[in-house]
Amino acid sequence: MIDLTTTLCGIKLSNPLVLASGVKGTDKEMLIRIAKEGAGAVTSKSCSLEPREGHENPTVLDYKYYLINAVGLSNPGVEEEIKELEYAIKNCPAPVIVSIYENSVERFVLLAKKIEKIKPVMIELDASCPNVKGKLFCSCASSAAELVSAVKKEVKIPISIKLSAAVADIGQIAKECQDAGADCITAINTIPCMAIDVWARKPILTNKYGGLSGQAIFPIALRAVNQIREYCTIPIIGGGGVYSGEDAAAMLMAGANAVSVGSALYRYKFAFRKIKRELIEYMRKMNFEKISDIKFA
């Protein structure tokens, strides 16, 4: 019998596959549906204190091996989102992680305290979305650590900080976040990028720049997760271009404790069922009985 269960900051997951933030929004029924389709945990789309309209269309470009998006963290604001999230947390068959975004440490703290009241299993600090203006908290170790420390002082539930591979040394940044009190690291976010229509002679995205995801970033994500594991002992939710069971196995082998799945949902109607089935088949062929068996030789 193959055992897919794993733990994340003391939270038991039926399998290591986690819905990535931003892919299916915060609609309560959608989060519950994804959990029923096989996700071991689900992460909501990042919310902020006040409503955000996001960017004008086009915001998502779907190419063969990758996606580019510049949605802009659109959301109705925390007071409205709490209504959806509270229902999802109480009725979802899988643990719910809530992602949050703000533009200052003080606002992040205020937002985290509001979210803690509805008791998700974890709060994910979106410190690395490339589709917003201004300096990102993930861009240097001191900024990321300052954010983690401030939030950790005010909330009791586990927190994870979502980092970007578009930095000089993601491992060192993760290490300082761990030292500052982070319970978990989520990596990676989308990679800053651009698309140009050469016939119209202008950028395709209204926002000009966007975030790259999908199969094209999978090798980048593997390297980032492995670098974080070399520096850190806390759990890692690793993701970026995971489309198959073998991809998930590779992410676990690189050092992740759980595997986030996002853009694959644009390719496959039942992505979690597919990846879970393929992961089981891989483990069967390798004579692995449990998730912890998946490691380097």
Task: Encode pLDDT of 104-139 as tens digits.
Answer: 999 999 999 999 999 999 999 999 987 676 678 898
E strands along 67-168, which residues? 67-69, 96-100, 122-126, 159-163
Instruction: Enter the pTM of the model.
Output: 0.96
Cis before residue 203, ω within 30 degrees of 0?
A: no
Q: Which of 126, 120, 121, 91 is nearest to 108 (CA)?
A: 126
- Higher-scoring residue by pLDDT: 75, 134: 75
**Placement of tokens 């651009």 in the chain:** 194
The alpha carbon dihedral of 141, 20, 125, 153 has a sign of negative
pLDDT, averaged across the chain: 94
Q: What pLDDT is attached to residue 270?
A: 94
How confident is the model at residue 73, as a pLDDT?
Answer: 83
Statement: residue 155 has pLDDT above 90: yes
Residue 140 amino acid letter: C
Tens digits of residue pLDDT in 7-45: 999 999 999 999 999 887 678 899 999 999 999 999 999
Closest CA relative to residue 242, chosen from 8, 12, 13, 23: 23
Contact (Cβ atoms closer than 8 angstroms) between residue 141 and residue 127: no
The rounded distance, in Å, linking the Cα atoms of 151 and 105 is: 8
Say if residue 158's pLDDT is above 80: yes
Task: Please say if the pLDDT value at position 59 is more than 90.
Answer: no
* pLDDT tens per residue, range 220-238: 999 999 999 999 999 999 9
pLDDT of res. 57: 84
pLDDT band with cut points at 50, 70 and 90 for residue 205: very high
- 240 neighbors 247 (Cβ within 8 angstroms): no
Contacts of 107 (CB under 8 A, 6+ apart): 49
Q: Percentage of residues in the chain with pLDDT exceeding 70? A: 98
Known catalytic residue at 129 = yes
**What sign results for the dihedral spanned by CA atoms 232, 236, 242, 247?**
positive
Q: What is the pLDDT of residue 7?
A: 95
Residues 6+ apart with CB under 8 A from 200: none
pLDDT value of residue 74: 85
What are the chain's domains? 6-54+73-191+213-293 (3.20.20.70)
Q: Decide the pairing of beta strands 184-187 and 159-163.
A: parallel
Are the CB atoms for 90 and 151 separated by under 8 Å?
no
Burial tier of 286 (Cβ tally within 10 Å: 0-12, 13-18, 19+): exposed
Given the residues 129, 138, 177, 232, the one annotated as active site = 129
Q: What percent of the chain has pLDDT over 90?
A: 84
Q: What integer is the mean pLDDT of 276-285?
A: 98
Does the pLDDT value for residue 56 go beyond 90?
no
Pick the range with the lowest mean pLDDT from 34-48, 64-78, 245-259: 64-78
Alpha-carbon distance 216 to 119, whole Å? 35
